[in-house]
Chain A
Amino acid sequence: MPSPAVLAQGLVKRFGALEAVKGVDFEVPRGRVFGFLGPNGAGKTTTMRMVYGLSPRTAGRLEVLGMDVDARGREIRARLGVVPQESNLDADMTARENLIVFGRFFDVTGARLRDRVDEMLAYVQLTEKAHERVNELSGGMKRRLHIARALLNDPELLILDEPTTGLDPQSRSLLWEQIREMRRAGKTVILTTHYMDEAEKLSDDLLVMDEGRIIERGTPKVLIERHVGREALELTMERSEDARLISRLAPMHAERVGDELRLFGDDGDKLLEDVHRAGVSPREHRVRRATLEDVFLKLTGRRLND
Chain B
Amino acid sequence: MRAPRHSRLVGYLAGYAMDAKLAFRVWQRELTLYRRIWPSTILSTLFDPILYLLAMGFGVGAYITDQIEGVSYLQFIAPGLVAASVMYAAAYEAAWNSYVRIFHERSYEAMMTTPANLEDVVAGEVMWGATRSLIYSIVMLGVLAGFGLVRSPWALLIPLVSFLGGSMFMILGLSYTVRMRHMDQITFLFTLGVTPMFLFSGVFFPIAGLPAWVQTVAWASPLYHLVETVRALAFGTIDIAVLGHLAWMAGLTLLLWGLPALVLRRRLRG
Q: Does B36 contact A (CB under 8 A)?
A: yes
Partner of B33, one of A15, A53, A92: A92
Q: Is the CB of A105 within 8 A of B107?
A: no
Interface range for A: 20 to 34
A101 CA to B26 CA, complexed, in Å: 9
Known: A59-B2, A92-B37. A15 touches B270 (CB 8 A): yes
B7 nearest in chain A by CB position = A56
A153 CA to B117 CA, complexed, in Å: 17
Interface of A is mostly: loop
Task: Say how far A240's CB is from chain B's closest CB, in angstroms.
Answer: 49
Q: Does B246 contact A (CB under 8 A)?
A: no
Partner of B117, one of A74, A82, A102: A74
Known: A58-B1, A59-B2, A88-B109. A78 touches B28 (CB 8 A): no
**Which residues of chain B are near A74, meaning CB under 8 Å?**
19, 115-117
Q: Does B44 contact A (CB under 8 A)?
A: no
Partner of B114, one of A77, A84, A97: A77
Partner of B113, one of A80, A89, A101: A80
A53 nearest in chain B by CB position = B112
**Which residues of chain A are near B105, meaning CB under 8 Å?**
88-91
**Which residues of chain B are near A77, meaning CB under 8 Å?**
112-115
Residue of B32, B37, B113 with most chain A CB atoms under a 10 A cut-off:
B113
Known: A55-B269, A59-B2, A100-B32. A106 touches B114 (CB 8 A): yes
**Which residues of chain B are near A73, meaning CB under 8 Å?**
117
Q: Does A168 contact B (CB under 8 A)?
A: no
A73 CA to B265 CA, complexed, in Å: 15
Interface set of A (CB-CB < 8 Å, partner B): 15, 52-56, 58-59, 73-75, 77-78, 80, 82, 84, 86, 88-93, 97, 100-102, 104-107, 153
- Could you list some 30 contacts between A and B, CB below 8 A? A15-B270, A54-B268, A54-B269, A55-B268, A55-B269, A58-B1, A58-B2, A73-B117, A75-B115, A77-B112, A77-B113, A77-B114, A78-B115, A88-B106, A88-B109, A88-B110, A89-B105, A89-B110, A90-B33, A90-B107, A93-B32, A93-B36, A100-B32, A101-B28, A101-B29, A102-B114, A105-B114, A105-B116, A106-B115, A153-B114
